[in-house]
A and B are shown apart, each in its own frame.
Chain A
């Protein structure tokens, strides 16, 4: 159904509209893409997402779905006849949801604080982030993907952050590849997928944007 799927996004969004784009691409679903700047007040995002007042929003047949992991599950359930994102086994599904939740809850905060803050706050964020990278690398183990042989939910959720890795390395002053080589190998495998390549943002543009945000936040 090439009908009425709209993504309302701000292009370097940390909220992983990347994940939503990857999922739609994996499913072969066409969509219209609209950009909006969160620093510019418009009536549309607030109306669409009155609770958190943050984008991105997936709009399908006029209905709004917010939050990237919720969007991922929605996409998987609506377009269920093609490329499954979540495993069908309830236990495997629960494991995938657990790691998606981990990335959403634990990873997000330190991953922006590493470039968005200074001093003690930044030091703590870096420490936490390194710990979470380690946990994620350990969970991956020797599997090609988080889902095993198949690229899926957790891979998509974590690749949502990929565009920010360079910025994290620059401002955090560490090399993800040096510390977590298996994780970088996994990113390279994911980058072989067309759905990923066409959904991620340019890492250098993200660094430029990080500078802009740092000035706005008063840390640059």
Chain B
């Protein structure tokens, strides 16, 4: 593949953008990162993703690919001979990885975000309880998928590691906001240890945003009502 013909439209703070960047790092693909300005959408973004008008958009040889999990799979397939495999090789394992990735976005993330948008203490407590319950499902998923190995994908980080791990920066920000541990060493010990391994992976480390910066950004994105 010709390097220099890969562009990624995104933002340093976006979980979904990070997924694409981790995948590109795993395959050692160089790309031009086109940082969107907060509060507006560039012409290129609107042109490349007219349906959803959202980042990330991967533009490979002028052809756009949208939706983070679809982009990650595309990267794995377009550069299949590069680096390690991102998706598992067996159809059943792939189906399980896709199922949990969809669960993370459709159920788990929604619960996490509702902590930030909760109005009042009652709502916040309910949201926290929901996240804890859903995180326990993910703990079981990790044990099942990893089969004793360090990552969901086995020896190396893969699709499901990326799907969940990209949330770790925001996970910490929400913990601070909620003043409550959301990744608990005693409740979900496997996930807790996995998180540290994930963040230290060379494909991930340079991309994980600083918690303080992200917390400040969160205050812009989810302003608290004035008392």
A residues engaging B (CB < 8 A)? 51-52, 60, 63, 65-67, 70-71, 73-74, 77-78, 90-91, 93-94, 97-98, 101-102, 135
* Shortest beta-carbon contacts, A-B, top 9: A77-B91, A90-B77, A94-B74, A90-B78, A74-B95, A94-B65, A65-B95, A97-B70, A70-B98
Given A78-B91, A135-B51, is A73 in contact with B98 using a C-beta cutoff of 8 Å?
Answer: yes
Which of A51, A60, A78, A101 has the largest count of B CB atoms less than 10 A from its CB? A51
Q: Which residues of A contact B77 (CB under 8 A)?
A: 90, 93
Q: Which residues of B contact A135 (CB under 8 A)?
A: 51
Cα–Cα distance between A52 and B100 once the two chains are bound (Å):
11
Q: Which residues of B contact A90 (CB under 8 A)?
A: 74, 77-78
Q: Is the CB of B99 within 8 A of A67?
A: yes
Closest A residue to B96 using CB positions: A65
Interface residue B193 (Cβ < 8 Å from any Cβ of A) = no
Closest chain B CB from A46 CB (angstroms): 14
Interface residue B103 (Cβ < 8 Å from any Cβ of A) = yes
Which of A52, A73, A77, A97 has the largest count of B CB atoms less than 10 A from its CB? A97
A60, A74, A91, A101: the one contacting B63 at CB < 8 Å is A91
Given A77-B91, A91-B63, A94-B65, is A70 in contact with B74 using a C-beta cutoff of 8 Å?
Answer: no
Interface residue B130 (Cβ < 8 Å from any Cβ of A) = no
- Some 15 contacts from A to B, beta carbons below 8 A apart, are A51-B107, A52-B107, A65-B99, A67-B99, A67-B102, A70-B95, A74-B95, A91-B65, A91-B78, A93-B73, A94-B65, A94-B70, A94-B73, A98-B51, A98-B65
Closest chain A CB from B138 CB (angstroms): 10
Closest chain A CB from B199 CB (angstroms): 26
Q: Which residues of A contact B103 (CB under 8 A)?
A: 51-52
Q: Which residues of B contact A52 (CB under 8 A)?
A: 103, 107
Closest B residue to A88 using CB positions: B77
Dominant secondary structure of chain A at its interface with chain B: helix
Cα–Cα distance between A98 and B91 once the two chains are bound (Å):
20
Q: Is the CB of B92 within 8 A of A65?
A: yes
Closest chain A CB from B61 CB (angstroms): 9
Q: Is the CB of A73 within 8 A of B66?
A: no
Interface residue B94 (Cβ < 8 Å from any Cβ of A) = yes
Interface residue B139 (Cβ < 8 Å from any Cβ of A) = no
Q: Which residues of B contact A77 (CB under 8 A)?
A: 91, 94
Q: Which residues of B contact A94 (CB under 8 A)?
A: 65, 70-71, 73-74
Closest A residue to B70 using CB positions: A97
Interface residue B67 (Cβ < 8 Å from any Cβ of A) = yes
Closest B residue to A50 using CB positions: B137
Q: Is the CB of A98 within 8 A of B70?
A: yes
Q: Which residues of A contact B51 (CB under 8 A)?
A: 98, 102, 135
Closest A residue to B80 using CB positions: A90
Closest B residue to A139 using CB positions: B51
Q: Is the CB of B70 within 8 A of A101?
A: yes
Q: Which residues of B contact A91 (CB under 8 A)?
A: 60, 63, 65, 74, 78
Q: Is the CB of A70 within 8 A of B92?
A: no
Closest chain A CB from B140 CB (angstroms): 10
Q: Is the CB of A73 within 8 A of B95?
A: yes
Q: Is the CB of B65 within 8 A of A101?
A: no
Closest A residue to B75 using CB positions: A90
Q: Which residues of A contact B60 (CB under 8 A)?
A: 91
Closest A residue to B74 using CB positions: A94
B67-92 Cβ-contact flags toward A at 8 Å (1 or 0): 10011011001100000000000011
Cα–Cα distance between A60 and B96 once the two chains are bound (Å):
13
Closest chain B CB from A129 CB (angstroms): 15
Closest chain B CB from A80 CB (angstroms): 9
Cα–Cα distance between A51 and B104 once the two chains are bound (Å):
11
Q: Is the CB of B66 within 8 A of A98?
A: yes
Closest A residue to B66 using CB positions: A98
Closest chain A CB from B26 CB (angstroms): 16
Cα–Cα distance between A98 and B63 once the two chains are bound (Å):
14
Cα–Cα distance between A189 and B94 once the two chains are bound (Å):
32
Closest A residue to B63 using CB positions: A91
Cα–Cα distance between A90 and B86 once the two chains are bound (Å):
14
Cα–Cα distance between A73 and B91 once the two chains are bound (Å):
8
Which of B65, B66, B74, B95 has the largest count of A CB atoms less than 10 A from its CB? B95
